[in-house]
Amino acid sequence: MAKLFRAVIMGPPGSGKGTISERIAQRFGLTRLSSGDFIRENIAANTDAGVLAKTYIERGLLVPDHVMTRLLLPRLEEMTRHSWLMDGFPRTLAQAEALNSTCDLDLVISLNIPYETLKERLSDRWIHPASGRVYNMGFNPPHVQGRDDISGEPLIQHDDDKPEALVARLRHYKDVAKPIIDLYKSKGILHTFSGTETDRIWPYINSLLSTKIPMEGTHRTQRPCTRGY
Ligand SMILES: Nc1nc2c(ncn2[C@@H]2O[C@H](COP(=O)(O)OP(=O)(O)OP(=O)(O)O)[C@@H](O)[C@H]2O)c(=O)[nH]1
Ligand SMILES: Nc1ccn([C@@H]2O[C@H](COP(=O)(O)O)[C@@H](O)[C@H]2O)c(=O)n1
């Protein structure tokens, strides 16, 4: 069985996690796991967890750790034979510790993007709510302004993408992310990338992953994700 590879991508709001994780998934054939997409699926399916999560998201709050953990870790159990990249989880130290008790991570990508760049990107971000597909008027505009390329449905902007909301979101991210970054740094698996343009950061991420993600045929035992919570 080919060696499995599991990674997490972290960064402040608007840093390009979704954009870069899509590129990684396509380039390396990893399964992209988006905690946000998974929450949206549960909200659309009106599950208990989805209904509960929605009450927090509507207020611009992080979904509580126990709800996120209950949502995601059983999903990871289904992925024991797959290599994956997780976007959006963990977002707190408790989530990182729950993940750590369940899966061995091979690598963590941390994006370090300046505040002004985040502000500019988020002010130009448009989202198709049902799918989570993301556009940017300056970077990757939709074919038809205001419309999702696939469904043709209207695009929206999140209230918390507005500049006045970003300062608080960024401060909160820095507070909750620091212990997670310290944890992964102490484990020797953290790789930080700084810059203002995804297209300039991408070659470095691509180069790193090309050395870390095994080619088909190499073998290593891998502790599968188990119900450690
Ligand atoms: N101008 C510009 N926009 C970019 C670049 N990279 C990504 N974007 C856009 O910036 C916005 C944020 O990118 P995302 O990939 O959604 O960032 P994220 O880290 O997943 O954001 P959150 O979901 O808020 O955590 C989107 O509209 C992207 O299309 C870039 O290099 N330049
Ligand atoms: N660990 C997490 C992940 C996500 N959320 C909430 O979901 C929203 C959408 O997530 P995206 O990754 O698609 O931005 C996010 O804004 C949070 O409200 C969370 O609480 N905890």
Ligand 2 atom closest to the Cα of residue 17 is 12
Q: What is the ipTM of this complex?
A: 0.94
The SS3 of residue 147 is: strand
Fold of 6-212: Rossmann fold (3.40.50)
Q: Is 35 in the pocket of ligand 2 (CB under 6 A)?
A: yes
Angle subtended by helix axes 93-100 and 163-186, to nearest 10: 40
Looking at ligand 2, which residue's alpha carbon is closest to its atom 7?
36
Q: Starting from the CA of residue 35, give the closest ligand.
A: 2
Q: Which token pair is 68?
A: 């996120």
The two most distant CA atoms of the chain are separated, in Å, by: 50
Full-model pTM? 0.91
**Distance from the CA of 101 to the center of ligand 1, in angstroms?**
30
Q: Where are the domains of the chain?
A: 6-212
Atom of ligand 2 at shortest distance to CA of 63?
20
List per-residue pLDDT tens for the chain, 229 residues long: 567 899 999 999 999 999 999 999 999 999 999 998 889 888 989 999 899 999 998 887 889 999 999 889 888 888 888 999 999 999 999 999 999 988 899 999 999 999 999 999 999 999 998 888 999 999 999 999 999 999 999 999 988 888 888 888 899 899 999 999 999 999 999 999 999 999 999 999 999 999 998 765 554 445 556 544 3
Whether residue 198 is annotated as binding a ligand: the answer is yes
